[in-house]
Amino acid sequence: MSTLDNMLEEINKANSIVILTHENPDGDAVGTALALYNALKQYGKNPDIIIPEYPQIFAFLANAQEIKKESEVEKYDLAISVDCSDIKRLNGFAKYFEDAKSKIVIDHHSTNTMFGDINFVNPDAPACAQIMLVILEHFNIEVTQDIGTCILTGIITDTGGFKYQGVTPETFEFVAWLLNRGINVSKVYRKVLQIKTKPNFELTRNANNRLEFLEDGRVAYTYITKKDEEEVHAQNGDHEGIVEIGRDVENVEVSIFIRETDEGCKVSMRSNEYVNVSDVCLMFGGGGHQRAAGVLMQGSIEQVKEKLLYQVRGQLK
Ligand code: AMP
Ligand code: MN
Ligand code: MN
């Protein structure tokens, strides 16, 4: 029996199902989780979806209002984690996963630790949402406009609008298919990728002013502090996109963005051609993809910057 057949058998058997994703969820996390939630409901199941906090730009997705912050259920029959590489990144809600009788992991991070009983992980997929599409097709669950929009949200956000490496022919075939069904791709694109919140705009302005070019212009570096976020009343997700700015300047290979939080310094790294930023983040306990990775580190912004630069320097050509 294939992995997907095993997965469907677990779903069929389960009376209670919970869907989870990584902390600080992005469009792929929320989109894939809601696609699965809506699909399982259509299939006749009554799952829970638990995401304590998510960016409000995704609140228009079908049944986003049913997302729970927590649950009273002590032990689910089945827990399904999407777009999450590591049980640590399920953070405070990892307990729902750990306590579940059966555990499924669906993901596309090359650093996935295979923390489920059933793991369906494809690092070649540009977004976890694209894997979800394959799964739903295998399960013969109809991809309605609502589900299609959730999946499209994941693909658009994780590919930076179809422009990152990793975009496959299937990505465009799927978008063509959506267009044929009358889904307004351009409207979704604008909603999930282009429109900025006011705090995001202000934080970006700040980060731009501070941006430094190091190592002969091959590294771009910037940061924002807790105070910056308080001043603009930033909400979950309002720092998104800042790390991309430095990467898009000519000759830059690596962009480093540090965000000061109550838990420590959240690092985002991006590269263009050859530096494997996932390896750098992995060294400090994080992970991600070759060209986009992250890690949570302790210490001051300045200390974290120096530790990262030391590792990056060794990889620069
Ligand atoms: P971000 O910079 O937060 O957009 O993350 C870039 C990529 O790295 C995403 O695919 C994240 O899922 C992944 N990532 C970020 N932080 C971590 C972490 N602490 N551990 C593992 N993967 C991470
Ligand atoms: Mn994600
Ligand atoms: Mn993803």
Q: How far is the CA of 298 from the centre of ligand 3 (A)?
A: 25
Ligand 1, residue 26: give the atom nearest the CA.
4
Average pLDDT of the segment spanning 171-199: 93
Average pLDDT of the segment spanning 255-262: 98
Q: How far is the CA of 128 from the centre of ligand 3 (A)?
A: 5
Structure tokens belonging to residue 291: 């060209």
Report residues near ion ligand 2: CB below 5 Å: 26, 28-29, 83
The answer on 52 and 188 residing in a single domain is yes
DSSP 254: E
**End-of-domain residue from the set 178, 193, 208:** 193
Average pLDDT of the segment spanning 53-80: 96
Report the chain's terminal Cα–Cα distance, integer Å. 47
The answer on 148 and 210 residing in a single domain is no
The answer on 41 and 128 residing in a single domain is yes
Q: How far is the CA of 168 from the centre of ligand 2 (A)?
A: 18
Q: State the CATH number of the domain containing residue 219.
A: 3.10.310.30
Q: State the CATH number of the domain containing residue 29.
A: 3.90.1640.10
Regarding the beta carbon of 293 and ligand 1, being less than 6 Å apart is answered: yes
Q: How far is the CA of 165 from the centre of ligand 2 (A)?
A: 16
Q: How far is the CA of 216 from the centre of ligand 2 (A)?
A: 31
The answer on 215 and 304 residing in a single domain is yes
Regarding the beta carbon of 21 and ligand 1, being less than 6 Å apart is answered: no
Q: How far is the CA of 214 from the centre of ligand 3 (A)?
A: 29
DSSP 91: G
Regarding the beta carbon of 85 and ligand 1, being less than 6 Å apart is answered: yes
With 80 as the cut, is the pLDDT of residue 266 above it? yes
The answer on 182 and 229 residing in a single domain is no
Structure tokens belonging to residue 102: 């059966």
Banded pLDDT at 76 (limits 50, 70, 90) = very high
Residue 50 bridge partners (DSSP): 68
* Cβ atoms 243, 269 nearer than 8 A: yes
The answer on 159 and 19 residing in a single domain is yes
Model-level pTM? 0.92
| Cβ-based neighbour number of residue 201 at 10 Å | 12
The vertex-39 CA angle with 34 and 43, nearest 5°, equals: 150
**End-of-domain residue from the set 193, 217, 247:** 193
With 80 as the cut, is the pLDDT of residue 72 above it? yes
Banded pLDDT at 165 (limits 50, 70, 90) = confident
Secondary structure class of 170 (helix, strand, coil): helix
**Residue from 240, 281, 298 to probe ligand 1 pocket by mutation (most atoms less than 8 Å from CB):** 281
Q: How far is the CA of 23 from the centre of ligand 2 (A)?
A: 9
The answer on 35 and 103 residing in a single domain is yes
Q: How far is the CA of 155 from the centre of ligand 2 (A)?
A: 11
The answer on 39 and 178 residing in a single domain is yes
With 80 as the cut, is the pLDDT of residue 42 above it? yes
The answer on 146 and 11 residing in a single domain is yes
The answer on 208 and 154 residing in a single domain is no
Task: Please tell me the distance from the alpha carbon of residue 202 to that of residue 231, in angstroms, as a whole number.
Answer: 10
pLDDT score of 161: 96
Residue 19 bridge partners (DSSP): 49, 80
Take atom 22 of ligand 1 and give the residue whose Cα is closest. 287
* Cβ atoms 174, 185 nearer than 8 A: no
Take atom 11 of ligand 1 and give the residue whose Cα is closest. 288
Number of folded domains that form the chain: 2
Regarding the beta carbon of 171 and ligand 1, being less than 6 Å apart is answered: no
Banded pLDDT at 107 (limits 50, 70, 90) = very high
Banded pLDDT at 1 (limits 50, 70, 90) = confident
The answer on 169 and 32 residing in a single domain is yes
**End-of-domain residue from the set 193, 221, 246:** 193
Q: Which ligand is nearest to the CA of 127?
A: 3
> Mean pLDDT over all residues of the chain?
96
**Residue from 20, 23, 26, 157 to probe ligand 1 pocket by mutation (most atoms less than 8 Å from CB):** 26
The answer on 41 and 183 residing in a single domain is yes
Regarding the beta carbon of 295 and ligand 1, being less than 6 Å apart is answered: yes
Q: What torsion do the CA atoms of 204, 208, 214, 216 make, to the nearest 10 degrees?
A: 120
Q: Which domain holds residue 111?
A: 3-193
Banded pLDDT at 181 (limits 50, 70, 90) = confident
Structure tokens belonging to residue 138: 């295998």
Crossing angle of helices 27-42 and 128-138, rounded to 10°: 10
Ligand 1, residue 268: give the atom nearest the CA.
2
Average pLDDT of the segment spanning 37-49: 98
